[in-house]
Amino acid sequence: MNRLRSCWAWCVRAWNAPGHERYTALLIGKSVLAATLSWWVAHDLLRATSPAFAPFSAVLIMNVTLSRSVWQALRYAAAVTAGVAVQAAIGFVAGPDLFAFVVVALVALCVGQWPALGEQRSQVATAAFFAFSTYAAATTTGDKALQLGQIILLVLIGCGLGLLVNLCIAPPLRYRSAEQGLHSLAAEIEYLLDDMADGLRSGNVDAERTEQWRRTGERVQTAVGQARAGLNTAESSLPFNPRRLLPAHRGYLTFDRYRQTVNALERAVYQLGSLTRSLSQWRETENTYSYTPVLTAYAGFAESLRDIAHVVAELDSDTLTDQARTMCELATTAQEALQKVLGAAQDAQLPLADASRPYGVLVVEASRLMEEFQNTCDVLMDTAED
C-alpha cells in the first residue's frame, strides 16, 4: 500500500506541476512512441531481419534536450557504422571463423577508444559483434552485404524517428532548470547561515556543532555542482528547439545572470567553508579575551546574509527587478552588520594578527563573504535593469 501511495503521489506531482516527475513521464512517453514507430517501420514495412535495432536506437538517443539528442544520434550512428565497417572489412577477407572474430573484436575495441564518440564508444564493439552474428548467419555474399547495410539503415531510422518525436512533441525547453539549481544552492546556504547565526548568538561553537556546520558546508558544495548542471541543461535545451522562437519564451533565454550568480555564490561557499574550519579550531578553554560581543555581532551579520540567500532561493525571472531591489536593501543592512563585527573586535581588543587564534580569520572571512554577497546583488540588479 505504501508503494501504491508513493506511485500515486508521483503521478499527481507529474500531472499538477512542471518538474522532475513531469519531465520523466514525458520522456518515457516519447520514448515509447518513438520505439513503437521504429518497430512498425522496421518490422511491418521493411520486414527487416533484425528489427529491434530501430526501436533500440530511438530510445537510446532520446534525451531531455534536443541538442543532446542530436549529438547522441550522431555519435551512436557513427559508432554503429564504424563497428559494421570493421566487420565488413575483416569478414569479407577472413570469413566468419573464430580467428576473424578475434580480429574483429580487437579492431572494434581499439576504434571504440576514439574520444570523439563520447559515451557511445562502447557501441562500436557491440555493433561489430551483432554484425558478425548477422554476417555468419547469411548464406550468400549478396545477402551478407544486404544484412550489414540493413543494420546501419535500421539505426538511422530509429535515430531519425527518435529525433522527430522529440522535436514535434513538447520539445524540452528547460530554462527553469537554471533557476531551480540556483534555488537549491541558495536554500542550502540559507540553512547553513541560519544555523550558524543561532550557534554564534548562543555561544555554542563546540566541536560537535562546528562539525555539523562543516558537513553542511560539504552538502552546499554538492549543491554548487547541481546548480551548474541545471544551468548547463537550460543552455543545452535551446539549440534546435523551435519553442525558443515563441514570444512567451523570449524573455527567458539568456543565462548570464544565473552563471554570474552561481559563480559569486560558489566563491561565497568557499569562504563559508573557510569560516567553518576556523570556527572548528575555536578553543573551549579560550578565556583570555571577552569575545562574546563579537560572536553576537557575527550572528547578526550571518542573519543578514541569510536574508539575502532567502531571496535568491525564491528567485523568479518574472519578478526579478523587485527581488533585486530587495536584495540591494538587504546588502546595505549586511554592510552595517559587518561594521558592527569590526567595531566589536576593536572594542574587545582581539588579537586579529595572531595566527594561532581564529579572530583575524573570522574578520577577514566576514569581509570576503560580504564582497561575494554584494556582488551577487549587483549582478542581479544590473541584469534586471537590462
pLDDT by 10s per residue, the chain, length 386: 667 777 777 676 666 655 566 677 888 888 999 999 999 999 999 988 889 889 999 999 887 677 788 888 999 999 999 999 999 889 888 777 888 899 999 999 999 999 989 889 999 999 999 888 888 887 788 888 888 899 999 999 999 999 889 888 766 656 567 777 888 888 888 888 898 888 888 777 777 777 788 888 888 888 888 888 877 777 776 666 555 555 444 444 467 777 888 888 888 888 887 777 776 665 444 554 556 777 788 889 989 999 999 988 888 777 778 888 898 899 999 999 989 888 877 776 665 555 556 666 677 778 888 888 888 888 888 776 65
Residue by residue, DSSP assigns 270-317 as HHHHHHHHHHHT--TT--SS--HHHHHHHHHHHHHHHHHHHHHHT--G
Q: Is 316 exposed, middle or buried (0-12, 13-18, 19+ CB in 10 A)?
A: exposed
- Give the Cβ contact number of residue 279 at 10 Å: 23
Whose grid coordinates read 532548470?
Answer: 177
84 Cβ contact partners less than 8 Å away, ≥ 6 residues apart: 127, 128, 131, 148, 151, 152
pLDDT at 248: 45
Q: At what angle do helices 256-280 and 359-385 cross, to 10 degrees?
A: 170
5 Cβ contact partners less than 8 Å away, ≥ 6 residues apart: none
The rounded distance, in Å, linking the Cα atoms of 297 and 303 is 10
Report which of 181, 154, 190 is spatially closest to residue 272, judged by C-alpha positions. 190
pLDDT at 230: 78
pLDDT at 386: 57
Using an 8 Å Cβ cutoff, are 44 and 36 in contact?
Answer: no
240: region left, alpha or beta (phi > 0 left; psi from -120 to 50 alpha): left
pLDDT at 264: 83
Asked whether the whole model's pTM tops 0.75, one would answer no
pLDDT at 54: 92
Where are the extended beta strands (E) located within 216-270? none
